[in-house]
Structure 1
Amino acid sequence: MAAVTKTLELHLVDPNAHKERKLRETRDAYQQALQTAFDADCTTQSAANDVVVEYDLSGYAKNALKQYVPQLCGDSYDASELHDIDDHPVKFTNEGVQLDHHPQNHYEWYAKIPHHDDYHLWLPAAPIPEQRPWLEALHAGDAEMGECRLLERDGTWYLHVTATREVETRSAADTERTPVGVDIGDAALATVCHRDERGTPTAPDIYSDEASQIRHLRKTYFTATRRLQRRESERIIEEYGDSLWERIDQIIHRISRQVVERAQQVDNPVLVLENLQYIRETTDYGAFMNRRLHGWAFAKLHAQIQYKATEAGIPVATVNPRNTSKECHACGETGTRPEQTTFRCPNDDCWVTEYQADVNAALNIADRYRGGESQPQTDRNSGPKAAGDDSATDGASLTGPQDSYSEGEPRPATSGTYAS
């Protein structure tokens, strides 16, 4: 096992005027405290504490400053001046920021940003698609959060979260792998299939019953929500919604675990998925189907499979999803789907006439990896840190205040916890 650390980027989505003002207050106070402590040449945490304690910041930001300033003034950097103070992000020690997940909402992820010791801001957060497995690992407790940074670029706010997790290392000689294709869809939540050593498709795993269960749960949720909204029963809506979506989460966790267990039965496997970002950005099935696709939490299942596979030491790759459900896995001809679960090949010379559509897609996904079209999962933010922008990872341990909300910001119920 080896420890791997990545920096995750979350876009803080459209804060309202009140929260925008609080974010700017936090940034301005932090930068003023940083400049003052640096000008005072605080080479020890004690000296830095005497300066930053006077500023209206959370203890998490103050503790980060108490570590960062001595590094700037001391042997770590020995900086003669602070360049571009406005570009310095607000740093929080590892216990300051919290992440929450609500898959029933349009924005599934929420971040708690400390403002000062008795007030915090909850904001919707949109992650980079390929980094979702790391967020899932943080939420499940399988990765450890390190230092977090709040910054603004061109009027948009971002949160950078450092995450560390243990992954199993494999020998560099393990290069020839058996691709296991995974098709995530609507009729079947997941379909898993691969070819044996003779190239023959193996018996697939098709999770269509689970798709029906989630369809039923979602329909029940939206029907009940409309009824309860008419009665203004917000507390019941929130409690009922949390319970129902917990059941959906359990289904997704179970399927992702079983997908990885299927791959573990294969010699030297690689799990192959469709490139989710490509699907999200280029596919438009109309308002109804787009809602269904979001409701199926494609990204969530995709991420769960990835991070569970990583824990099991199984590599994950993605391929271009274009026409995986339309091409015949045997001859490559473009066919039709007269029904959701049926693929029909038009090639009279092909042994395939009709085939299970999702299995056909899973085989095409696996074959594209075999044909060299794979796009290994990478972190676009990995690499060396920018010069002069280094700091301690963990920070001092402290007990932070409980979550709080201003009188003007009640926690909403009908649109999901923490939603703006």
Structure 2
Amino acid sequence: MTEFTKTLELKLVAPNAHKRQKLRETREAYQNALHDAFDAGCTTQTEANDVVVNYDLSGYAKNALKKYVPQLTTTDNAGELHDDHPVRFTNEGLRLDHKPENAIEWYVKIPHHEDYHLWMPAQPNPEQRDWLEALNAGDAEMGESRLFERDGTWFIHVTATRDVEDGSEASAEERTPIGVDIGEASLVTVCHRDDHSSPTAPELWADEGKTVRRLRKTYFTATRRLQTRGSERIAESFGDDLWNQIDDVFHRVTREVVEYAESVENPVLVLDDLTYIRESMDYGEYMNRRLHGWGFAKLHAQIRYKAVEKGIPVETVTPRNTSKECHACGEVGHRPRQATFKCSNDACWVGEYQADVNGAVNIADRYLSGESRSREHPNDDDSAEDGARLTAPQDSQADAEVQ
């Protein structure tokens, strides 16, 4: 096992004027406390505490200051301070909340003053979504967090640590690609080719797909009725319970996907590239809502971080036409039924085939053909800030009353 630590970046999405003011107040109080403790030459946590204790900051910020100032004065031997130090919080200060049913999926709780905190919608780096999922599930340990402003935009940096198994030394050519198809009918489908290049050992989580569809339908129907009746609090509580049930299904299925991969020699899990899925979501308001909330990103992230923990590499490929092409001859076919793929080539032996398995094999073949796509896309954007909020965690009562 190897311990990895990573700094995760979340961009706070369009804070309103009230919350921007609160963030500035927190930063100003922190800077004043930091400079006063530094100018006083504090070399111990006790000395620093005597200075910062009277400032209007949360205990998480004060405790971070008590550790940071002695480090500056004794370890770093700093002679002076610049004015743009980020606001630091200890590892207990920040909280994450994931709302996969929302266009803006992630929310972060930022300590403001001693009595209350702010919940802020946040847009993560798409490449770090799997780490956020690990933190949210308790499978990674949160460290110190830092709040800062850059070019008028507020950000949070969070350190995360987790143990990862050492992967095998197999080369890309020696690996067995396992195609992972995520959809609505079968929640997840996996398949790979055997030594004779024939699709083998497919596994489908179709019942789980039915369960999630039922829960999501219940969520949208019931919460709409409750909101119409003015029962907002009941609707939010009811929705949280349903999404926790969906999350339980996601965690179980993604764990079983990784267990499937562990049964294959030198596996590499191959997923559709999420960027292309997001870019192609333009099917009208109703279908966009269904697809956006379906959980592509969440399932991707959970598979990725659970695979990494087991030392199993994960690659992504361009998903274009993986559900439309025949895995045997490459001709474009069609789906007479949701779960059935029909090849248009009369000379092909396939005829009709299970559609999700056909897609999974095509995804695996994209890796074999060298079409795997690096996830380092500086221009990729999940466009979280473009979507409207459905539900969100609420600020603490003291701050809500101010608003």
TM-score, structure 2 as length reference: 0.88
Kindly state the Cα deviation for residue 94 of structure 1 after the two structures are TM-superposed.
0.7
Q: Which residue of 1 aligns with 2:392?
A: none
* Cross-structure match for 2:232: 234
Q: What are the Cα deviations for residues 139-177 of structure 1, in whole angstroms up to 9, with x where unaligned?
A: 221111001011112222211111000110134356521
1:329 is displaced (CA, Å) by 1.8
- Given that 2:178 and 2:364 are in contact with CA atoms closer than 8 Å, whether structure 1 keeps it comes out as yes
- Asked if 2 retains the 8 angstrom alpha-carbon contact of 1:42 and 1:69, the reply is yes
Structure 1 residue 3: deviation in Å?
0.6
| Alignment partner, residue 38 of structure 1 | 38
Q: 2:320 aligns with which of 310, 322, 325?
A: 322
Q: Which amino acid aligns with 2:398?
A: S
Matches within 5 A, 1:278-297: 278-297=276-295
- 1: CA distance between counterparts of 2:328 and 2:247? 35
Q: Does 1:72 align with 2:72?
A: yes
Partner of 1:201: 199
Structure 1 residue 377 displacement after superposition: 5.8
Name the residue aligned to 1:262: 260
Alpha-carbon distance in 1 for matches of 2:22, 2:348 = 65
1:133 alignment counterpart: 130
Aligned partners of 1:195 and 1:201 also within 8 Å: yes
CA contact (8 A) 1:99 1:139 kept: yes
Is 2:311 the partner of 1:313?
yes
Instruction: Give RMSD over aligned pairs.
Output: 2.4
Q: CA deviation at 1:348?
A: 4.2
Aligned twin of 1:9:
9
Alignment of 1:362-381 (within 5 A): 362-375=360-373
Q: Which residue is 2:348 aligned to?
A: 350
CA apart distance, 1:349 = 4.1
User: Where does residue 388 of structure 2 map in the other structure?
Assistant: none
Share of identical aligned residues, percent?
Answer: 69
Unaligned 5+ runs, structure 1: 381-402, 411-419
- 1:391 is aligned to none
Deviation (angstroms), 1:277: 2.7
Partner in structure 2 of residue 218 of structure 1? 216
Q: Give the TM-score of the pair, scaled to structure 1.
A: 0.85
State the shift of 1:117 in Å: 1.3
How far apart, CA to CA, are the structure 1 residues paired with 2:186 and 2:200? 18
Question: What is the rounded CA distance, in whole Å, between the counterparts of 1:347 and 1:409 in structure 2?
Answer: 66
**1:59 CA displacement:** 1.5
* Alpha carbons 2:170, 2:266 under 8 Å: kept: no
Cα distance in 2 for residues equivalent to 1:202 and 1:252: 24
2:79 is matched by which residue type in structure 1? S
Matches within 5 A, 1:366-405: 366-375=364-373, 404-405=396-397
Alignment length (residue pairs): 386
In structure 2, stretches of 5+ residues that fail to align are 379-394
Alpha-carbon offset, residue 78 of structure 1: 2.0
Query: Would you say the 8 A contact 1:335–1:344 is kept in 2?
Result: yes
Instruction: Go from structure 1 to structure 2 and tell me whether the alpha carbon gap of 1:409 and 1:265 turns closer, same or farther (over 3 Å shift).
Output: farther
